[in-house]
Chain A
Amino acid sequence: METLKIIGAFITLAGSVFLLLGSIGLIRMPDVFTRIQVGTKASTLGTILSLFGIGLMFTEIAGKIFLLIIFILITNPVSSHMLARAAHYIGVKKADITVVDKLSEFREKQPENNAQKPEAE
Protein backbone atom coordinates (compact mmCIF):
# COMPACT_ATOMS: atom_id res chain seq x y z
CA MET A 1 0.00 0.00 0.00
CA GLU A 2 2.83 2.39 0.88
CA THR A 3 4.62 1.86 -2.43
CA LEU A 4 1.41 2.61 -4.32
CA LYS A 5 1.14 5.90 -2.42
CA ILE A 6 4.71 6.84 -3.30
CA ILE A 7 4.23 6.00 -6.99
CA GLY A 8 1.01 8.02 -6.97
CA ALA A 9 2.78 10.98 -5.41
CA PHE A 10 5.45 10.94 -8.12
CA ILE A 11 2.86 10.74 -10.90
CA THR A 12 0.99 13.69 -9.38
CA LEU A 13 4.28 15.58 -9.26
CA ALA A 14 4.89 14.87 -12.95
CA GLY A 15 1.39 16.14 -13.68
CA SER A 16 2.02 19.36 -11.82
CA VAL A 17 5.24 19.87 -13.82
CA PHE A 18 3.16 19.75 -17.02
CA LEU A 19 0.67 22.21 -15.54
CA LEU A 20 3.58 24.53 -14.64
CA LEU A 21 4.95 24.32 -18.19
CA GLY A 22 1.49 25.09 -19.49
CA SER A 23 1.31 28.23 -17.37
CA ILE A 24 4.75 29.36 -18.55
CA GLY A 25 3.56 28.77 -22.10
CA LEU A 26 0.53 31.01 -21.52
CA ILE A 27 2.87 33.89 -20.75
CA ARG A 28 5.38 33.22 -23.52
CA MET A 29 3.09 32.61 -26.49
CA PRO A 30 2.42 35.57 -28.81
CA ASP A 31 -1.32 35.39 -29.60
CA VAL A 32 -4.61 33.97 -28.43
CA PHE A 33 -4.57 30.87 -30.66
CA THR A 34 -1.13 29.67 -29.62
CA ARG A 35 -2.11 30.33 -26.01
CA ILE A 36 -5.21 28.19 -26.39
CA GLN A 37 -2.97 25.47 -27.87
CA VAL A 38 -0.66 25.46 -24.88
CA GLY A 39 -3.55 25.76 -22.46
CA THR A 40 -5.22 22.70 -23.94
CA LYS A 41 -2.22 20.47 -24.49
CA ALA A 42 -0.13 20.80 -21.39
CA SER A 43 -3.11 21.02 -19.08
CA THR A 44 -4.77 17.87 -20.43
CA LEU A 45 -1.86 15.59 -19.63
CA GLY A 46 -1.12 17.54 -16.44
CA THR A 47 -4.65 17.12 -15.13
CA ILE A 48 -4.87 13.48 -16.20
CA LEU A 49 -1.56 12.61 -14.51
CA SER A 50 -2.49 14.49 -11.33
CA LEU A 51 -5.85 12.74 -11.12
CA PHE A 52 -4.28 9.36 -11.93
CA GLY A 53 -1.75 9.82 -9.14
CA ILE A 54 -4.50 10.74 -6.69
CA GLY A 55 -6.41 7.66 -7.83
CA LEU A 56 -3.39 5.49 -6.96
CA MET A 57 -3.01 7.13 -3.56
CA PHE A 58 -6.66 6.77 -2.60
CA THR A 59 -7.82 3.61 -4.35
CA GLU A 60 -11.35 3.85 -2.86
CA ILE A 61 -12.20 6.78 -5.17
CA ALA A 62 -10.48 5.36 -8.27
CA GLY A 63 -13.81 4.90 -10.08
CA LYS A 64 -14.73 8.55 -9.71
CA ILE A 65 -11.25 9.59 -10.83
CA PHE A 66 -11.69 7.45 -13.94
CA LEU A 67 -14.95 9.23 -14.75
CA LEU A 68 -13.30 12.62 -14.19
CA ILE A 69 -10.53 11.73 -16.67
CA ILE A 70 -13.12 10.70 -19.28
CA PHE A 71 -15.05 13.95 -18.82
CA ILE A 72 -11.89 16.03 -19.13
CA LEU A 73 -10.99 14.19 -22.36
CA ILE A 74 -14.47 14.97 -23.75
CA THR A 75 -14.93 18.58 -22.61
CA ASN A 76 -11.40 20.00 -22.88
CA PRO A 77 -11.12 19.89 -26.70
CA VAL A 78 -14.70 21.12 -27.15
CA SER A 79 -14.19 24.21 -25.03
CA SER A 80 -10.87 25.13 -26.64
CA HIS A 81 -12.37 24.59 -30.10
CA MET A 82 -15.25 26.97 -29.30
CA LEU A 83 -12.90 29.57 -27.81
CA ALA A 84 -10.64 29.48 -30.87
CA ARG A 85 -13.60 29.57 -33.26
CA ALA A 86 -15.20 32.52 -31.50
CA ALA A 87 -11.87 34.34 -31.39
CA HIS A 88 -11.37 33.84 -35.13
CA TYR A 89 -14.93 34.92 -35.96
CA ILE A 90 -14.77 38.19 -34.02
CA GLY A 91 -11.40 38.89 -35.64
CA VAL A 92 -8.94 38.70 -32.77
CA LYS A 93 -5.52 39.85 -33.92
CA LYS A 94 -3.19 37.05 -34.99
CA ALA A 95 0.52 37.00 -34.24
CA ASP A 96 2.73 38.61 -36.90
CA ILE A 97 4.53 35.32 -37.51
CA THR A 98 1.33 33.55 -38.62
CA VAL A 99 2.30 32.01 -41.95
CA VAL A 100 -0.99 31.00 -43.56
CA ASP A 101 -4.70 31.53 -42.90
CA LYS A 102 -6.91 29.30 -45.01
CA LEU A 103 -9.88 29.88 -42.75
CA SER A 104 -10.06 33.60 -43.50
CA GLU A 105 -9.91 32.85 -47.22
CA PHE A 106 -12.70 30.33 -46.81
CA ARG A 107 -14.89 32.71 -44.86
CA GLU A 108 -14.43 35.55 -47.32
CA LYS A 109 -15.87 33.35 -50.05
CA GLN A 110 -18.98 32.72 -47.99
CA PRO A 111 -20.35 36.10 -46.95
CA GLU A 112 -23.47 34.68 -45.35
CA ASN A 113 -21.34 32.89 -42.81
CA ASN A 114 -19.70 36.05 -41.62
CA ALA A 115 -22.82 37.63 -40.21
CA GLN A 116 -24.04 34.89 -37.97
CA LYS A 117 -24.04 31.15 -37.86
CA PRO A 118 -26.80 30.04 -35.53
CA GLU A 119 -25.97 26.36 -35.52
CA ALA A 120 -22.50 25.13 -34.64
CA GLU A 121 -21.76 21.65 -35.84
Chain B
Amino acid sequence: MRIKSFLILTITLFTIWVILNGKLTPEVLLTGGLVAIVVSLLFCRTCEVFTEIRLTPKAVLYSVLYVFVFMRELVKSNLDVAGRVVSPKLPINPGFVEVKTKLHSKIGRMILANSITLTPGTLTVEINDDRLFIHWIDVQGGNIEKDTEMIVQTFEKYLEVIYG
Protein backbone atom coordinates (compact mmCIF):
# COMPACT_ATOMS: atom_id res chain seq x y z
CA MET B 1 0.00 0.00 0.00
CA ARG B 2 3.03 2.26 0.21
CA ILE B 3 2.94 2.75 -3.55
CA LYS B 4 -0.65 4.03 -3.43
CA SER B 5 0.01 6.61 -0.70
CA PHE B 6 3.20 7.68 -2.52
CA LEU B 7 1.28 8.18 -5.78
CA ILE B 8 -1.57 10.09 -4.13
CA LEU B 9 0.85 12.41 -2.33
CA THR B 10 2.93 13.02 -5.46
CA ILE B 11 -0.08 13.80 -7.62
CA THR B 12 -1.58 16.12 -4.99
CA LEU B 13 1.65 18.07 -4.54
CA PHE B 14 2.23 18.28 -8.28
CA THR B 15 -1.33 19.53 -8.94
CA ILE B 16 -1.00 22.23 -6.28
CA TRP B 17 2.32 23.31 -7.75
CA VAL B 18 0.91 23.56 -11.29
CA ILE B 19 -2.17 25.52 -10.15
CA LEU B 20 0.04 27.89 -8.15
CA ASN B 21 2.26 28.53 -11.16
CA GLY B 22 -0.59 28.88 -13.58
CA LYS B 23 1.49 27.92 -16.63
CA LEU B 24 2.58 24.68 -18.28
CA THR B 25 6.15 25.32 -19.47
CA PRO B 26 8.63 22.38 -19.42
CA GLU B 27 10.77 23.95 -16.66
CA VAL B 28 7.77 24.35 -14.34
CA LEU B 29 6.56 20.78 -14.92
CA LEU B 30 10.07 19.30 -14.52
CA THR B 31 10.90 21.18 -11.31
CA GLY B 32 7.49 20.47 -9.80
CA GLY B 33 7.59 16.80 -10.73
CA LEU B 34 11.07 16.26 -9.29
CA VAL B 35 10.35 18.11 -6.05
CA ALA B 36 6.99 16.34 -5.64
CA ILE B 37 8.66 12.92 -6.03
CA VAL B 38 11.48 13.73 -3.60
CA VAL B 39 9.13 15.16 -0.97
CA SER B 40 6.77 12.18 -1.30
CA LEU B 41 9.68 9.74 -0.90
CA LEU B 42 10.82 11.55 2.24
CA PHE B 43 7.40 11.72 3.89
CA CYS B 44 5.76 8.59 2.49
CA ARG B 45 6.51 6.56 5.61
CA THR B 46 4.20 8.66 7.79
CA CYS B 47 1.36 9.28 5.34
CA GLU B 48 -0.44 5.97 5.65
CA VAL B 49 -3.77 7.81 6.05
CA PHE B 50 -4.01 8.12 2.28
CA THR B 51 -4.20 4.36 1.85
CA GLU B 52 -7.62 4.43 3.47
CA ILE B 53 -9.15 6.27 0.53
CA ARG B 54 -11.14 3.93 -1.67
CA LEU B 55 -10.95 4.54 -5.39
CA THR B 56 -13.97 2.59 -6.62
CA PRO B 57 -16.42 4.34 -9.00
CA LYS B 58 -19.08 4.47 -6.29
CA ALA B 59 -16.68 6.11 -3.85
CA VAL B 60 -15.71 8.72 -6.43
CA LEU B 61 -19.38 9.47 -7.17
CA TYR B 62 -20.11 9.82 -3.46
CA SER B 63 -17.11 12.12 -3.05
CA VAL B 64 -18.56 14.47 -5.65
CA LEU B 65 -22.01 14.27 -4.03
CA TYR B 66 -20.39 14.93 -0.66
CA VAL B 67 -18.93 18.23 -1.90
CA PHE B 68 -22.44 19.42 -2.81
CA VAL B 69 -24.02 18.22 0.44
CA PHE B 70 -21.21 19.90 2.33
CA MET B 71 -21.65 23.19 0.46
CA ARG B 72 -25.40 23.17 1.16
CA GLU B 73 -24.81 22.54 4.86
CA LEU B 74 -22.13 25.24 4.95
CA VAL B 75 -24.47 27.88 3.55
CA LYS B 76 -27.30 26.75 5.85
CA SER B 77 -24.92 26.92 8.80
CA ASN B 78 -23.78 30.43 8.02
CA LEU B 79 -27.31 31.76 7.52
CA ASP B 80 -28.39 30.07 10.76
CA VAL B 81 -25.57 31.58 12.83
CA ALA B 82 -25.96 34.98 11.16
CA GLY B 83 -29.67 34.88 12.02
CA ARG B 84 -28.92 34.17 15.66
CA VAL B 85 -26.40 36.99 15.82
CA VAL B 86 -28.72 39.69 14.51
CA SER B 87 -31.79 38.52 16.44
CA PRO B 88 -32.28 40.87 19.42
CA LYS B 89 -33.07 38.04 21.86
CA LEU B 90 -29.86 36.12 21.04
CA PRO B 91 -31.59 32.70 20.85
CA ILE B 92 -28.79 30.38 21.98
CA ASN B 93 -28.91 27.31 24.17
CA PRO B 94 -25.31 26.08 24.25
CA GLY B 95 -24.04 22.79 25.63
CA PHE B 96 -21.59 19.95 25.09
CA VAL B 97 -23.14 16.79 23.69
CA GLU B 98 -21.75 13.39 22.85
CA VAL B 99 -22.27 11.53 19.57
CA LYS B 100 -21.01 8.24 18.20
CA THR B 101 -19.64 7.53 14.76
CA LYS B 102 -19.61 4.32 12.78
CA LEU B 103 -16.53 5.31 10.76
CA HIS B 104 -13.35 3.35 11.44
CA SER B 105 -10.68 4.99 9.31
CA LYS B 106 -8.62 7.89 10.65
CA ILE B 107 -9.12 10.09 7.62
CA GLY B 108 -12.87 9.43 7.57
CA ARG B 109 -13.17 10.53 11.19
CA MET B 110 -11.01 13.57 10.53
CA ILE B 111 -13.18 14.69 7.63
CA LEU B 112 -16.34 14.01 9.66
CA ALA B 113 -15.05 16.14 12.56
CA ASN B 114 -14.04 18.93 10.19
CA SER B 115 -17.43 18.85 8.47
CA ILE B 116 -19.26 18.96 11.80
CA THR B 117 -17.24 22.01 12.81
CA LEU B 118 -18.21 23.84 9.64
CA THR B 119 -21.93 23.09 9.80
CA PRO B 120 -25.01 24.36 11.69
CA GLY B 121 -24.02 25.52 15.15
CA THR B 122 -21.78 22.56 15.98
CA LEU B 123 -18.09 22.47 16.90
CA THR B 124 -16.05 19.32 17.53
CA VAL B 125 -14.18 19.77 20.81
CA GLU B 126 -12.80 16.31 21.53
CA ILE B 127 -12.60 12.97 19.79
CA ASN B 128 -11.94 9.73 21.65
CA ASP B 129 -12.12 6.55 19.62
CA ASP B 130 -15.69 6.51 18.24
CA ARG B 131 -17.01 9.15 20.65
CA LEU B 132 -17.13 12.74 19.50
CA PHE B 133 -17.79 15.58 21.92
CA ILE B 134 -19.47 18.51 20.28
CA HIS B 135 -20.26 22.01 21.41
CA TRP B 136 -23.73 22.76 20.12
CA ILE B 137 -24.99 26.31 20.07
CA ASP B 138 -28.64 25.22 20.27
CA VAL B 139 -28.98 21.88 22.06
CA GLN B 140 -32.12 20.05 20.91
CA GLY B 141 -31.64 16.31 21.38
CA GLY B 142 -31.09 15.04 24.87
CA ASN B 143 -29.59 11.60 24.47
CA ILE B 144 -26.74 10.19 22.44
CA GLU B 145 -28.92 8.49 19.78
CA LYS B 146 -30.95 11.59 19.03
CA ASP B 147 -27.91 13.85 18.91
CA THR B 148 -26.09 11.42 16.64
CA GLU B 149 -29.03 11.33 14.30
CA MET B 150 -29.25 15.12 14.07
CA ILE B 151 -25.56 15.99 13.78
CA VAL B 152 -23.67 13.09 12.26
CA GLN B 153 -25.90 11.21 9.86
CA THR B 154 -26.06 13.74 7.05
CA PHE B 155 -22.36 13.25 6.45
CA GLU B 156 -21.86 9.74 7.69
CA LYS B 157 -23.85 8.02 4.99
CA TYR B 158 -21.54 9.49 2.35
CA LEU B 159 -18.29 9.13 4.27
CA GLU B 160 -19.08 5.50 5.05
CA VAL B 161 -19.00 4.68 1.36
CA ILE B 162 -15.88 6.74 0.66
CA TYR B 163 -13.64 5.79 3.59
CA GLY B 164 -15.38 3.13 5.62
Q: Which residues from chain A sit less than 8 Å from chain B, CB to CB?
A: 18, 21-22, 24-25, 28-31, 33-34, 36-38, 40-42, 44-46, 60-61, 63-64, 66-67, 73-74, 76-78, 80-81, 84-85, 88, 94-95, 97-104, 106, 121
What 9 pairs between A and B have smallest CB-CB spacing?
A77-B117, A45-B78, A25-B85, A100-B95, A99-B95, A41-B81, A103-B133, A102-B98, A77-B114
How many residue pairs, one in A and one in B, have C-beta atoms under 8 Å apart? Answer: 133
Main SS class of interface, B? mixed
List chain B residues, Cβ under 8 A from A46: 78
Contact of B22 among A30, A45, A64, A78 (CB under 8 A): A64
Contact of A37 among B95, B127, B135 (CB under 8 A): B135
6 further A-B contacts with Cβ under 8 Å, apart from A41-B121, A106-B131, are A31-B94, A34-B92, A37-B137, A60-B22, A81-B125, A103-B96
Do A42 and B135 touch (CB < 8 A)?
A: no
